[in-house]
Each structure stands twice: as structure tokens, then as C-alpha cells.
Structure 1
Amino acid sequence: MKPIIDSHAHIDFPVFDDDRAALFENMHAVGIDKVLIPGVCPLQWQKQIAVARQYNCLYSLGIHPWYCETATVKNIEDLRDLLIRYKDDSQLVAVGECGLDKLHKSNFITQMNLFRVQVSLAKEFDLPLIIHVVKAHEEILKCLKSEKPSRKGVIHGFYGGPQLALQYVNLGYKLGIGGLLLNDNAPKLQQTVAELPVDSFVLETDSPAMAPKNGQNSYNTPLLLPDILNKMAHLQKKSSVLISEQMFSNVTQLFDL
């Protein structure tokens, strides 16, 4: 089987500080080769880069919509400066995690403005986007259609049905599929994974968040990836080896690895 890449895991978060090295050893033992660490806020960027350096991870830089109201003009300038500084760094592969979240209390217009800025940065630096979207698919789709970023990206933590999924796939975006797929009460997502072409997806965990409901641990880790891959293989009625090869191809093409 091809190595497995977790395309979205916050492995830099403090919950992993005490056992990060052991976790990476366990990941490598089960064939998980790399992790992409997404950006969430300016205070975390330097730690992200340090963890990526130490453990040979990929990373992206961005401001999550949950942090939009504390983001300043200087933060946006700093983000652009970091993208300039690391533009030749092969480990920097995307802009994000950015997007829109209507379930969060932060001002939606502020979220929208910050998302548009980051779409512009992705275009300027020719990088794909990692997009967080909750209850705001209409606005995200409208923005992506009008801005037309050339490198596309991934819709992180996708949980919708086939009709919505195809709107993103037809624009050239991949769908990030994580632990929600393992939940019994996720029929729409399971239908999406069963019906759409397998080149529509990338694997992710969103660790330490988004643990499946039947999970053993209090928080999620990339070690969940083989279970997600096997569930995807079952829904697609294909072998785990074939799904593994396609997921590796999808993520390496998307992030130009």
C-alpha cells in the first residue's frame, strides 16, 4: 500500500506536546508518512513551522474564521510576509485554514472579508486553499466562482450529500473526509463517498478534533486514518490497496508534493 498522508491535523496543538514523538513513531509504524499542519491563528504560526521542521511535516499558513475578530491588519501583513519568506519552502503547501462558519459567534461580514483576503493571497502565491465551511456553502461557492483561484484546494471536514459535493468537485476542489465517515448517523456523507469518483477525496482527521462517536480516546489522532481508509474502501466497493493508492495520488497532486 502507498503511504498515508493526513491532509489536515493540528498536530502542533498543546494536547500533543507530551507525546508527539511517540505518536509519530506509532504513525510511521502503521504506514502514515506525513501530516499537513493547517494554520489557525498568528500566535500559532511559529510553533507550526517548528513542529513541521522537527517531524518533516507539511504546513499551511492562514487565519481560521474563529479567529477573525481578533485578526488585525498587521496580522494580514505578517501572513503575507511569511508567505514571501517561505515561498521556496517545499513544506509550505497551501493557504489556510480559512473560510466561513455561521455557527460561530464571530461577525460574518468580518469572516467574509478575511476569507476574501486569503483567497487573494492564495492566488498571489499560486497555492491551493484549505477551506473551513459550516452552514455557508452558498457564500463559499459564490466567492470561489467569482475569484477563480487557479490552484483550487480542499473543502475541509466535508459532511454533506452528493449534490453539494459535486458543486465543489466540478469546480476542481477535493473533499476532505475524516472521522465523521465512521459515524452511523452520517448517511449523507457515506452516500457522497459511495457515489462520487474516488479522485474527489483526500483523507484527513482534523486531530485533535472530530473524533468519531465510538472513538476510544478523548481526542483524535492521525492513527484513525486506516479506519477511515477502510470505510471508504467498503463504501466504494474497492480494495483498501486501490483506495490507498488513489488517496496518495490525490493529495500529492493537490499539494504538488
Structure 2
Amino acid sequence: MVAGRRRAWLVWAGAGMVLVAGCGGRGHASQAEAEGERVGVAAYANVEAVPEQLGLDGTTITVGDPKAAVTVHLMEDPRCPSCEQFERTGGGPVLAAAVVRREVRAQYTMASFLDDRLGGDGSKRAVNALRAALEAGKFTEFHAVLYSNQPPEESDGFTTARLLELAARVPGLRSPAFDSAVKTMKYRAFVKASEEDYEVKGTEEGVGPGTPSAEIDSYPLPSNAVLYDAEAFTELLRASRGEQVS
């Protein structure tokens, strides 16, 4: 993002906002796509066609066109009800649509601190299952299913059996490899590293910035309140692309 555009959306996003603290057919983009011209690039046919991949840092999951003009980096915990609010009724659907249109790419750092705070291991198991879904090319779809069926955070409801049951709702996700990864916590090293990366972004050592939190083109939002307002989040993305906003 160029400096003028960044200043524009920072000013817009900060104005009047109140800080809210919250708790198969797809794969890597082709070389030609990654280096291609942006003019006239068509939207993806649907969410299943959107590429998704694990970043070189080993923890950041990127969804969307690698050449998209804007990057939205989200930090979420699967048990966090504020994340569920963002994903289902706030800016989440807006972000998903912008990713399909190739206007934005989304990045995710999946935290699991609520297990330590509330007890249990549901967040860790869910993050492990999401990593297994990424391996199967189904992270985006499974991510949506988890937040659409999030149990109360205090119930620790993301058990192994429940995660496998929810995975069955994503066509093509269940397989011997996926089921084994979920049952054995195959990606526990990823879960630990992802939580550590989340904590690094906090203002206090060992304490992350809260979930959901977001950065646009590496700049933290002045306020998280915009994440829960679909209309405001739409305007924020427009501003980040340098478009005139109301």
C-alpha cells in the first residue's frame, strides 16, 4: 500500500471508532498466475477455486491471489466467540467475497490461548485440524464450517469426534490421512509455533493482541470495532485499495 492510501484508510478507520477487545482442485498459485498482469484478471469461479498455502514462516496460512493489491492478516482462536461474530455477521463474509474477486488476499495466524485460559484443548485440536485441512486443500471450507458450528467457548466442544463430524460436511475432506492427522494431533508443532507467533504480536511478552485482530498491509487497525460491522469493513477495504469512500 502506498503511503497516501495507507494514511487515508488509517484516518478513516480511526475516526469515531471505539476499541473492542475480543478474545483437490486447489493448490499453490501457478508461476504464470503469480507473475501475471493484474489488468483484466477474472474473479475466481467460487471459493473452492481460490488457492491456499502455508507461508515460508511455517505458520501463516494465505488464501487468495498472491498478487492481490491488499493483504488482510487475521489472528483468530477457534474458540473465540468474537471471532465467530466477525466470521459470520461482521467483516468475514465481506473479506471472503473480496478474496474471490481477487481484490484482497487473506492471511491467518491461528491462536490457541483460550485453552490455557479456560481449560481443555479444543482450540489446539481445531487448529491442528485446520492445518490438516490445508494439507488437503480445504482450509477455507473447513474454517467456515468450524465458525458456523462453534460451541460455547467454555464447553471445550471441539473434540476429536466433533471435528471429524464437522469435517464430513466439507466434500472431499475426510480421508484416512486427514482422519489420522486429527486423531494423532499430527500438526502439534504447527499449533505451538502458530500460538507463539500470535503472542509475539502482543504488547506484553506472552500475551497476544486479542482475537480477532487484524492488520492491513502490515499495519494494525486503529480499532477492532470495524471488524464487527460489515458495512464499515467494506468501506475499509475500499479505502485500502485507494478508492473514494463515503
TM-score calculated relative to the size of structure 1 = 0.27
Instruction: Tell which has more relative contact order, 1 or 2 (C-alpha 8 A, sep 6+).
Output: 2
TM-score calculated relative to the size of structure 2 = 0.28
- Bigger proportion of residues as strand: 1
